[in-house]
Structure 1
Amino acid sequence: MLQNILIVDDQPEMLELMKDILEPEGFAVTTLVYVDDIVSCVTQHQPDLVILDHLLAGVNGGELCREIKNHPLTAALPVILLSGFPRLREAFGDFGSDAFIAKPFDINTLINTVKSYLADGHMLAHA
């Protein structure tokens, strides 16, 4: 069974790029440009890992990360936060994310980071 990655980014080109990078690595990828309730979205899609853009249209991806990490059903889910403004992390923190990748990112960095969090010990057990 393929491991599922949920990616939320308000730039369709970025979603397509990450999908094109991760699917050939053997992952199932679900992409969304907008989420109004991240916990419901995670419950619906059952991802093994979430990638969130830090600055989304109308919402802070870091706050979405915090919602995932603070909810008992999703707290163990690995979350990677992406940002084209890495200094935001210095100013606002990592919001509980498991990893942070600055945009533009190195393809191998993205792949290796995803794979490291989807190794056997880091998988979320689906109920």
Structure 2
Amino acid sequence: MKTIFILEDEDSIRELLEVLFNMEGYKIISSSSIREFNKMNIGSNIDLYLLDIRLPDGSGIAVCNDLKNNAETSKIPVLMMSAHAKTLELQDCCQYDEFISKPFDLDTMVATVSGLIGKM
């Protein structure tokens, strides 16, 4: 079973994603803050990171950079999401694999995650 780590501070979005991906057969680990994420992150057992950009204790961009600069997690796909940022703004900030704007279409989200995990 593939594992997705969701870092999203909005409870309703995080819970929606948890239910959605559980129904699709994925194991979900989730966190609402970077501090909690850092305590829970198990690196090599994760198949995809789904990161919000604006978080209460920092930026998902910094988390993405940390993941991509760590030899243990650098090859794990990172899907960034935000209601505020745009793809062009992120291109020079971090080496994410895909970006989805909020609000997102559920079918698009599932297809994007499936495509990223399928490339592994």
Aligned position for 1:90: 88
Aligned position for 1:76: 75
Aligned position for 1:58: 57
Superposed CA offset, 1:61-118 (max 9, x none):
011001000111110010000000133x433435110000000000011000110011
Whichever residue aligns with residue 96 of structure 2, its letter is: S
User: Structure 1: 5+ residue runs without aligned partners?
Assistant: 123-127
**Residue 84 of structure 1 contacts residue 103 of structure 1 at CA under 8 Å; is this kept in 2?**
yes
Superposed CA offset, 1:14-41 (max 9, x none):
1101011111111011110012385664
SS of the equivalent of 2:34 reads: coil
Which TM-score applies when normalising by structure 1? 0.84
User: Structure 2: 5+ residue runs without aligned partners?
Assistant: none
For residues 19 and 37 of structure 1, the distance between their equivalents in structure 2, rounded to whole angstroms, comes to 17
SS of the equivalent of 1:7 reads: strand
Q: Does 2:25 align with 1:26? A: yes
Task: Output the aligned Cα RMSD.
Answer: 2.0
Q: Does 2:117 align with 1:111? A: no
Change (3 A) 1:63 1:35: same
**Residue 50 of structure 1 contacts residue 79 of structure 1 at CA under 8 Å; is this kept in 2?**
yes
SS of the equivalent of 2:35 reads: coil
Change (3 A) 1:7 1:45: farther
Number of residue equivalences: 119
- CA positional deviation for 1:52: 0.3
Which TM-score applies when normalising by structure 2? 0.89
Whichever residue aligns with residue 101 of structure 1, its letter is: I
Bigger mean CA deviation after superposition, 33-42 or 94-103: 33-42
Identity of aligned residues (%): 25
